């Protein structure tokens, strides 16, 4: 029994070490992500389990020096991960002040009591999405068709109970999954429930997936969903003139590209005249460089080993323009909407260099505001379920979107008064 304790703690210590400093290299990116993502975001739970495990061995007099040494290292590493996560509050506060100006708080309400402390019960039970949604009084109108495909052209609408009467701001969520997997019920659930409870109308969509449906089917479907929102969201109390778009990973790519290419007829076949503009984009850990324009080796490898073969199904050497057109980094114009770009510093699936280059390019070209938040130590997909870090991000996105909507309303009132 004694060696099992040491081996168990050694296995968890290896996971902790990878979360602290992920394995380097493109080919280790996927295993490093899966090993580090849950370990980092569930560090408080693992810390409690590791401490209890070690304590039980001591009480039962089964502890060995080697086992306790490994356990001590694991516990110390997990405590470091917890402490690093708590710094997220300051990271997003600094990002908002830098991107929006120190006086942006004047348009926001003082933080509620629950926003000044961590929701320990929620973090302790992070996967109780449906129970929390119902407790907030949020209803979901499921599987509303927005196109012809029987399963992928479906969306869900989240509203408060009762739904807003009219004029509520709208948030459209685009799921991730490498353009090949995923669905609308899996991602951004805490954000959708929170914003709907605060009076927003939130929409989350499915879209056609590669390789069965090669690019650009995915961006066409996002545009089609935007056109549906413009035509139908008033029936749910939403304001079609104010639409924010968000998404993570592939959804971060698609939401950014949609925001940067409004009303592009090439990606609106059969609905070329539809309005697909958005007022603001909040991409999370997105892919911004399909073409390898950044010169990052990781971007070039992603293009050549995955995007070319499974998503676009084209050769970047002979058809580089297809990859360039699909790159948000290369579609930035002075007319780009406001952006809040979010990424983790330890993302091994989409290294942070893409986000840094994207935010830098936005700041150089766009006439609108650019806010960039980089989370120290965070992996890909760190906001999927409630954790210390994702709680601070959720509050920051809430305050950013609230600020943006109120600013837009103030500008509209000023223009009407002229």
DSSP readout, 240-285? EEEEEEEEETHHHHHHHHHHHSTT-GGG-TT-TTS----SEEEEES
Residue 7, pLDDT above cutoff 70 = yes
153-183 per-position pLDDT tens digit: 999 999 999 999 999 999 999 999 999 999 9
Query: Hey, is 365 helix, strand or coil?
Result: helix
Q: Is 369 a catalytic residue?
A: no
First to last CA, the chain: 80
Distance separating alpha carbons of residues 215 and 322, to the nearest angstrom: 9
Please state which of the ranges 28-37, 105-114, 313-322, 399-408 shows the lowest mean pLDDT: 105-114
Query: How many Cα atoms are found within 13 Å in the side-chain-facing hemisphere of 276?
Result: 28
Region for residue 97 given its phi and psi (left: phi exceeds 0; alpha: psi -120 to 50; beta: otherwise): alpha
Determine the pLDDT at residue 113: 63
Determine the pLDDT at residue 103: 86
Categorize the per-residue pLDDT at 25 as very low, low, confident or very high, splitting at 50, 70 and 90.
confident
Residues in contact with 358: Cβ distance below 8 Å, sequence separation at least 6, in sequence order: 256, 286, 288, 289, 328, 329, 341
Of residues 104, 153, 239, 249, which has the active-site annotation?
Answer: 249
Q: Is 256 a catalytic residue?
A: no
Determine the pLDDT at residue 2: 57
326-354 per-position pLDDT tens digit: 999 999 999 999 999 999 999 999 999 99
How many degrees, rounded to 5, is the angle at CA 101 between CA 203 and CA 388?
55
Q: In this structure, what token pair is assigned to residue 133?
A: 């949604």
- Give the distance from CA 388 to its chain's centroid: 15
Distance separating alpha carbons of residues 156 and 203, to the nearest angstrom: 6
Of 409, 191, 208, the C-alpha closest to 283 is 191
Of residues 343, 380, 392, 404, which has the active-site annotation?
Answer: 380
Of residues 284, 347, 392, 405, which has the active-site annotation?
Answer: 347
Q: Is 392 a catalytic residue?
A: no
């Amino acid at each position: 029994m004694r060696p099992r304790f040491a081996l168990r703690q050694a296995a968890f210590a290896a996971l902790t070490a990878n979360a602290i400093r992920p394995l380097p290299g493109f080919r280790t990116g996927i295993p490093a992500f899966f090993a580090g993502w849950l370990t980092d975001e569930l560090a408080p739970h693992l810390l409690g389990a590791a401490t209890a495990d070690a304590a039980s061995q001591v009480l039962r007099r089964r502890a060995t020096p080697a086992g306790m040494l490994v356990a001590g290292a694991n516990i110390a590493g997990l405590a470091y991960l917890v402490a690093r996560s708590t710094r997220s509050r300051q990271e997003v506060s600094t990002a908002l002040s830098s991107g929006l100006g120190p006086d942006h708080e004047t348009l926001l309400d003082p933080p509620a009591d629950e926003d000044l402390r961590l929701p320990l019960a929620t973090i302790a039970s992070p996967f109780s999405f449906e129970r929390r949604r119902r407790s907030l009084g949020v209803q979901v109108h499921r599987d509303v068709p927005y196109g012809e495909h029987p399963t992928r052209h479906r969306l869900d609408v989240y509203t408060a109970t009762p739904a807003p009467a009219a004029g509520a701001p709208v948030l459209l969520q685009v799921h991730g999954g490498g353009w090949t997997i995923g669905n609308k019920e899996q991602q951004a659930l805490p954000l959708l429930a929170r914003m709907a409870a605060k009076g927003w109308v939130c929409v989350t969509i499915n879209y056609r997936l590669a390789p069965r449906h090669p690019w650009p089917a995915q961006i066409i479907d996002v545009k089609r969903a935007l056109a549906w929102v413009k035509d139908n969201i008033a029936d749910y109390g939403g304001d079609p003139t104010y639409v924010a778009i968000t998404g993570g990973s592939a959804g971060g790519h698609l939401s950014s590209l949609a925001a940067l290419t409004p009303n592009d007829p090439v990606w609106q076949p059969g609905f070329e005249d539809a309005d697909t503009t958005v007022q603001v984009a909040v991409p999370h850990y997105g892919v911004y460089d399909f073409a390898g324009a950044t010169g990052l080796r990781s971007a070039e490898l992603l293009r050549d080993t995955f995007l070319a073969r499974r998503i676009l199904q084209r050769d970047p050497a002979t058809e580089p323009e297809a990859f360039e057109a699909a790159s948000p980094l290369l579609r930035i114009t002075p007319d780009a909407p406001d952006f809040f770009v979010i990424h983790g510093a330890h993302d091994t699936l989409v290294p942070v260099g893409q986000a840094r280059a994207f935010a830098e390019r936005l700041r150089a070209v766009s006439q609108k505001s650019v806010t960039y938040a980089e989370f120290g130590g965070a992996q890909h997909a760190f906001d999927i379920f409630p954790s210390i870090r994702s709680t601070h991000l959720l509050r920051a996105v809430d305050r950013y979107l609230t600020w943006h909507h109120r600013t837009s309303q103030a500008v509209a009132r000023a223009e009407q008064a002229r």
